[in-house]
Amino acid sequence: TDTMHFLNTAARDGRSILIEGAQAALLDVDHGTYPFVTSSNTTAGGASTGTGLAPHRITGVLGIVRTYTTRVGEGPFPTEMLAGEAELGSLIRERGREYGASTGRPRRCGWFDAFATRYAADINGFTSIALTKLDVLDALDEIKVCTGYRLDGKTLESFPAVAQDLRRVELVYATLPGWRASTEGVTELNALPARAREYVEFISKEIGVNVGLISTGPERGQTIMAGDLTFNSWLGDGLSVAP
């Protein structure tokens, strides 16, 4: 089958098309933390170059974002849990099963980096967010979120273009109280602990994009539809996350 022809025919016929990307935004060969990148475009633009669909065919981008940050292999990782936080990083790694799918390598774990995620939202054009692994944070007393970077005494307005600079940044953190209650398997937003909802709302506000979906476990049905109108419009076009 000529995939390009098939997809463009489907688009002209008004059919819904769901394209899933691989790897993370900061591994993008053009916009990632070079040289610690892959050899292709992992941002939303790769959906066009990889399928033959014209850019204007892409009408929405769902950003898949963990409630914390991970990285596999080498490269700068400002919010990584090191030194006094190493034990906490190990806890998150085990609770989140953060091991490479093919290699089994343990992933490096860190606090949620809202500054880096805002950059990812810009280069991908996120129109809604799927926030995953909320339940992994259930056991934490408090949760830190990186809200900004400083370099050489100056507050940065944009994400560093040079990996060496990213290694040197000072982090601006906000600390939120944990909820210390199970969110595993919760499927209704109002059923979440109040502090868990506040954490989700804080992340959404920091990134500047509404959260459309929240996952509370590894199973497909362990999902909350968060009420974002953009995300709901996709469901109306035929997307389904039913168990």
CA distance 227 to 223: 12
Q: What is the pLDDT of residues 184-205, one digit of tens each?
A: 999 999 999 999 999 999 999 9
Q: How many residues does the chain have?
A: 243
Is the bond leading into 218 cis (omega within 30 degrees of zero)? Answer: no
62: tokens are 């769902």
Q: How much is the pLDDT for 235? A: 64
Is pLDDT at 149 greater than 60 in this prediction? yes
Q: What is the mean pLDDT of residues 216-238?
A: 79
Q: Which pLDDT band, with edges at 50, 70 and 90, does 42 fall under?
A: very high
Pick from 149, 160, 146, 148: which is nearest to 31 by CA? 160
Residue 2: how many CB atoms within 10 A of its CB?
A: 9
Greatest CA separation for the chain: 57
Q: Which pLDDT band, with edges at 50, 70 and 90, does 238 fall under?
A: very low
Residue 92: how many CB atoms within 10 A of its CB?
A: 25
CA distance 99 to 179: 26
Q: Which pLDDT band, with edges at 50, 70 and 90, does 226 fall under?
A: confident
Residue 172: how many CB atoms within 10 A of its CB?
A: 15
Mean per-residue pLDDT of the chain: 93
Pick from 59, 55, 46: which is nearest to 14 by CA? 59
Who contacts 14 (Cβ-Cβ below 8 Å, separation ≥6)? none
Q: How much is the pLDDT for 172? A: 98
Q: How much is the pLDDT for 1? A: 65
Q: Are 49 and 60 in contact (CB under 8 A)?
A: no
Is pLDDT at 77 greater than 50 in this prediction? yes
Residue for token digits 């993008």?
Answer: 28
Q: Which structural domains are found in the chain, ordered by start?
A: 1-58 (no CATH), 60-231 (3.90.170.10)
Q: Are 138 and 179 in contact (CB under 8 A)?
A: yes
Residue for token digits 């868990």?
Answer: 196
CA distance 90 to 96: 10
Is pLDDT at 242 greater than 50 in this prediction? no
Share of the chain above pLDDT 70, in %: 95
Q: What is the mean pLDDT of residues 159-165?
A: 94
Q: What is the pLDDT of residues 5-35, one digit of tens each?
A: 999 999 999 998 999 998 999 999 999 999 9
pTM, two decimals, is 0.92
CA distance 113 to 116: 6
Residue for token digits 């935004």?
Answer: 25
Q: Which pLDDT band, with edges at 50, 70 and 90, does 103 fall under?
A: confident
Is pLDDT at 131 greater than 80 in this prediction? yes
Q: What angle separates helix 194-207 from helix 114-124, to the nearest 10 degrees?
A: 50
Who contacts 109 (Cβ-Cβ below 8 Å, separation ≥6)? 68, 69, 70, 80, 81, 89, 90, 92, 93, 96, 98
